[in-house]
Amino acid sequence: MHLLLVGISHKTAPVELRERLDFHARGLGESVRQLTGRGSAREAVIVSTCNRAELYVACDEIDATRDDLTRFLSEFHALPASRVTPHVYGQPDLDAARHLFRVAAGLDSLVMGEPQILGQVKQAHTAAADAHTAGPILNRLFHSSFAVGKRVRTETGLGSGAVSVSYAAVSLARKIFGDLSGRNVVVIGAGEMGKLTARHMKSQGVRYITIVSRTMANAARTAEAIGGARATPWEDLDGALGASDIVITATGAASPILTRAHVDRVMRPRRNRPLFIIDIAMPRDVEPAAGEIEQVFLYNIDDLQATVRENLARRASEVTRAEGIVGQEVEKFGTWLRAREAVPTVVALREHFETIRRAELERLDFKLSALPPEARARVDEITHLIVEKLLLTPTEQLKVLSDGETITAYSEALSRLFGLTDAASQESPGTDSSRRVTPFNRSKSGPSR
């Protein structure tokens, strides 16, 4: 049995294509059921986010399944294969495991170390488990990835510090106010950056979010998009500012909309209640001199970007430690996966010895028939224990072998010596066939590296 990953991500496909390959529109459960229904994959999990659409499967044949999964990506989303195939990458066996572990750790994200991806990986596995498409191999793989994500977040600083302008604004606000719950936020402007910052503020439990725009219809649309926000006419700007604790300015105005005099007028009735202003417009919406007013905390986009750069640099220094954790967990998973290769031989060996034991008991039945039932049961128990003792050492030694080629050689030798079934000689991830060169593993510069 092999592992196989086929997919696209922000590293290989433009956003327009990634949007078209989103599996959430039809549900992860239905999607993964349709995938396994094609017959090429025995187990399957689909990881679908705004930055990736990845199919993880357990299968018998790498090449045939790879081609079928690539077709599935285009057929399921009704896209021409010529549009999808050039952007597809894939990884077999432990390379697939390494890729998933890096994804769960945030090492393969658009924003290095971002925390949301681990939850999305867990969601993907839950959907597959509910759809009964995740079996023993993918269950072990994904639970191992959860452990990687947890270790990276607790043992490194990869996820620490804000690395987007919008979230840096939230971090600064928390430094000033502490807990943001119960705070009032005003967003001046109805653009994307202001909307994103407002959403981050909302996630911190702020009390009210008010959208102010020169065009009331735009303010209303933005308020609806944020959810739970309210729109206010431009004429009521001063009232909104007076009731606010945090102001986000993100307009396209050519000159400042908040002068020092304007901010000073708003601050007079506040009785030293602090006002945090985040000016993320370019050109700036707020006169720099407004930041000189007592209890006014003014930050512009340059201040926020400096924070982002500092945090990105800090995260980059943690990458080596995170990659080391990934490597350790890949090795552990590989040991488990290779141990599975011995299972058919172990099972066949035990069945072979059990068949001999029962045949001998049946052959001697005429001699044992005179024994009382308790004695016959004791004979059955003793012979069973003898077989268990005889098999204990060879089966344990076979299970702890770490080299795939050695496992295959031992399995074939046992099969020949004891006349076992051919199950032990089937191809598995540790055999040479799993390392044959395919379009997916010819180069070591793929997305999972």
Positions marked active-site: 50
- Phi then psi for residue 230, to 5 deg, are -130, 150
Q: DSSP strand E in 303-385: where?
A: none
Bridge partners, 52 (sequence order): 9, 49
Task: Identify the DSSP state of 132.
Answer: T
Element (H, E) at 59: strand 52-59
Q: Which of 166, 205, 168, 209 is nearest to 187 (CA)?
A: 209
CB 226 within 8 A of CB 209: yes
213: left (phi over 0), alpha (psi -120 to 50) or beta: beta
Biggest distance spanned by C-alpha atoms of the chain: 111
Q: Which of 106, 79, 90 is nearest to 55 (CA)?
A: 90
- Helix H, strand E, coil C: the string for 239-288 is HHHHCCCEEEECCCCCCCCECHHHHHHHHHHHCCCCEEEEECCCCCCECH
Q: Is 5 exposed, middle or buried (0-12, 13-18, 19+ CB in 10 A)?
A: buried
| Nearby residues of 424 by Cβ (< 8 Å), 6 or more positions away | 344, 345, 348, 411, 412, 414, 415
Amino acid in the structure at residue 6: V
Q: Which of 96, 150, 104, 97 is nearest to 124 (CA)?
A: 104
Grouping H, G, I as helix, E, B as strand and the rest as coil, residue 22 is coil
